Structures are given as structure tokens and as C-alpha cells.
Amino acid sequence: MSLGPVMMDLAGTALSATERKWLKNPLVGGVILFARNYESPEQLSALTSEIHALREPPLIIAVDHEGGRVQRFRLGFTSLPPCGYIGGLYAQDRSQARLLARSAGLVMAAELLVLGVDISFAPVLDIGRGLCEVIGDRAFHDKPLIVAELARQYISGMTQAGMAATGKHFPGHGGVIGDSHKELPTDDRDLAAIEAVDLLPFARLAPSVLAGIMPAHVLYPRVDPEPAGFSRFWLNEVLRKRLRFNGVIFSDDLSMVGAHGAGSLGERARKALWAGCDMVLACNDPEGLDGLLHALTGYQNPASQSRLTRLHGRPGWTSPLLMEDIDYREACRRLAHFAQEGTL
């Protein structure tokens, strides 16, 4: 059975009978986990093992685990700095900032992979202008080339651990005030202004080191009448053609208010896939999931299926070996050093 275009969420720390049925549906290709799905490393390992055993190829298991306030799993995991802290360090010591970015990517990815999580939706490539509270210190910096430089180091650490990287939120969420979880933000700049700043990190990283990209639920009316995640112009003309991106395009969560203008959950999914997404995220709406799956009956995209199979994690360690690995231990030591200074 191939991987389908839907990534769904779960209600709790173990699978229900209904969730097992959904996960076996050929239209489902992945699961995204949240803090509500985590109790301990042992529980998480058991959950991911059960999910992976349901299908062949295994479903992709994802999480948002960037660091700072967006770190879904805490107990038993290393505390990761917000990307903005790493960017702040860059002004004082560029070498240490690059090392810290690489260490954070390595530790984040390694600790997830050994417990069966394939990908974290990271890193954030938005520009930290201080406008958008929902982005805030999730952004590395306000200078796009520094964002690209530190993100490349973060991705290098992820790659060393065996995890594919997903950049977000294309083409940039940092130029708006609104939170797309609660509204549809509007960015009134023209394409040239966006290309000159916000697109630069994506342009630097998309052709070479990013395996996935997640577009923003943001409207750029001077560029296209559709929000980026539902726009064939943004996803095909800009991302695929101009930036030469050949990886997976994930929609952001279709339950967010910023996506509601596209219709019902099923209509949102169809529209996002038609625009160029390979996989759509449907979270926090279990009542709508049957309708979404019904709306996608018969849907197949062999190109998307091929891209998705590249996202399975390739952990270089088991849990005991990870604790003995010199690079991992040094990365943890570096993170602990900054935490002890009261900066993380």
C-alpha cells in the first residue's frame, strides 16, 4: 500500500479502534503528534512502533519540535533553545551560534528518531521582524542571509542524525501581524519585495538541503488571490519552477482559521492538493476526518507518493548507543552550557 496524501492526528497516548481504522485507509500517509500524545519515552516508543507496524511502507510520523515554546515533548528530552536565541548569539559569536544551531538540530532529530518519530517540521525560515507574535523567537534572525546560514547548520545536525528537514512557512509568515491559527493574515507587499527578503532563505536551501516545505496560511493579494497554501502560483510557479524544489510540500493544518475560506475540510484538502501540496495536515477535527477521506476518494498522485517515501527517518543509533555517541554528548553539553547561563 502506498502512502496517501493525508496526515492526521490522534486523541491520546494510545491508538483507539477508530484511529487504527483511519490509519489503515490508503488515503492516509502520516500521523502528526502533539503534547497530548506524550507521557514518557517508553510510551512514545510503543506508540510509534504500533503505528509503523500498521502499514508497509510505514506511515510517516511527524511532530513540531523546534525548540523554545514549540517543543511538544519535554520530560525525558533535552531542552532546546528557541531559534531566536541562536540568532541573538550570532551577533556576539558567529562560530558559537553556528555550532549551537548544528547541536540543536542534531539533538532534536536524534532524540526523536530513536523513539520512532520520522520528522520534525523544522526549521522555521521566517524572518524575525518582531511583527508576528505567533512567529516571535521561533525565527532565527531579522536578516535573511543569517536565517539561511543558521538554518543550514541546524539542518546539517538533523541530517547527521538521519532526519529530513522541512522549512516553513513559505514564502514567509514574518511580514504580517495576524496569527493564521486565528485569522487569515494579509501581506500587502508585492512579489519583488517578498523575493528580496522573505524568499531568500527558501531560495538558498530549497534546491539542496530541504526535503520538505510547508506554506503559510497567509494571503499575498498583490501576488495571487489565493493564500499561499492554496495557490498554484506560489507552489508551482515559484516553489517548484523558480526555486527548483523537488521535495514534499505539506499544507499547514487545514483546521486553522486561516484555511477556512477554502470551504469544508474536504474542500480545503482538495484545493490544497490541486494547488500542488503532496500531503495535507488535518488536525483537531476528528468529526471532519471521515468527510475529508470521502472527498478524496480515488485520489492518487504517484509523484507525491514517491516524494513521501524519502521522509522515513534513518536513525544512526539505538537509545543505548545514542547516549554513548561522542557527537551527541558534545551537542548536549553545548546546549546545557547555555541553559546553565539562564539563557535557554
User: Known catalytic residues?
Assistant: 181, 252
SS in 3 state form for 177-227?
CCCCCCCCCECCCCHHHHHHCCHHHHHHHCCCCCCEEEECCCECCCCCCCC
Pairing of strands 65-67, 70-71: antiparallel
CB atoms within 10 A of CB 92: 8
Q: For residues 300 and 72, what is the distance between their CA atoms, to the nearest angstrom?
A: 32
With 0-12 / 13-18 / 19 or more C-beta atoms within 10 angstroms meaning exposed / middle / buried, residue 34 is middle
Side chain identity, residue 25: N
- Give the E-state strand segments of 42-179 in sequence order: 60-63, 65-67, 70-71, 119-120, 166-170
177 phi and psi angles, rounded to 5 deg = -90, -35
**How far apart, in Å, are the Cα atoms of 145 and each of 116, 127, 148, 244?**
33, 10, 5, 19
- CB-based contacts of 278, cutoff 8 Å, min separation 6: 5, 248, 249, 250, 301, 303, 304, 307, 308
Sheet architecture: strand order including 6-9: 119-120, 60-63, 28-33, 6-9, 279-282, 248-253, 212-215, 166-170
Peptide bond into 171 cis (omega under 30): yes
